[in-house]
Every structure is written in structure tokens, then in C-alpha cells.
């Protein structure tokens, strides 16, 4: 979450990316989208004719979990008290 905050990525809709967007193995230069994909928080939803990939959350539970964590990280809102927002 701190990496998302550092890069200013707070939108739950991620931009299209090419295969280079998935390559992130250096600790000093981590790409947050690659980390989320490799950890299973994002999945490939579609590939367009230009070989760009649209990423999305694999299911509602992961989406809601990310939303709760983003609320805590960016707004300082406790996820326990914000479940009405997620649902």
C-alpha cells in the first residue's frame, strides 16, 4: 500500500500495460502494477490488438480488500468502520 501511495496510484482502474509492465524484479525499482499482478491481486482481463493488457481484480473480494486498504492508507480511515462504503 505504501508503494501505491508513493506512486500516487489510488484509482481502482488500472491503465493498460504491455509485457514490460509485468517485469519488476529489482527491489530498488519495483513497479507496483507488476507486484500486484505477481501477487495475484490483479489478473489480465483482456488483450487488445496492440498487445496491451487491461488488468482488473480477479473477484469482488479482492477488489473490496484493496478498497479497504486504500482507504486506510490514503485517508487514514479504519477499514473496520468503513465496511458500509465497500458494500
How many whole angstroms separate alpha carbon 64 and alpha carbon 70?
10
Percent of the chain past pLDDT 90, that is, above it, reads 7
The mean of the pLDDT values for the chain is 76
Residue 86 located in a structural domain: no
pTM (2 decimals)? 0.66
* pLDDT reading at 85 higher than 60: no
Q: What is the mean pLDDT of residues 27-41?
A: 80
More confident residue, 68 or 30: 68
Its domain, for residue 50, covers 2-62
DSSP letters, 27-78, are: GGG--HHHHHHHTTS-EEEEE-TTS-EEEE-SSHHHHHHHHHHHIIIII---
Residue 77 located in a structural domain: no
Q: Over the Cα atoms of the chain, what is R_g? A: 14
* pLDDT reading at 10 higher than 70: no
Residue 72 located in a structural domain: no
Amino acid at each position: 500500500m505504501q508503494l501505491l501511495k508513493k506512486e500516487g496510484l489510488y484509482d481502482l482502474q488500472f491503465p493498460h500495460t504491455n509485457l514490460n509492465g509485468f517485469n519488476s524484479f529489482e527491489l530498488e525499482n519495483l513497479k507496483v502494477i507488476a507486484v500486484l499482478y505477481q501477487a495475484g491481486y490483479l489478473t489480465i482481463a483482456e488483450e487488445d490488438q496492440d498487445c496491451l493488457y487491461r488488468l482488473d481484480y480477479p473477484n469482488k473480494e479482492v477488489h473490496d480488500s484493496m478498497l479497504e486498504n486504500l482507504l486506510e492508507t490514503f485517508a487514514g480511515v479504519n477499514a473496520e468502520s468503513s465496511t458500509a462504503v465497500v458494500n
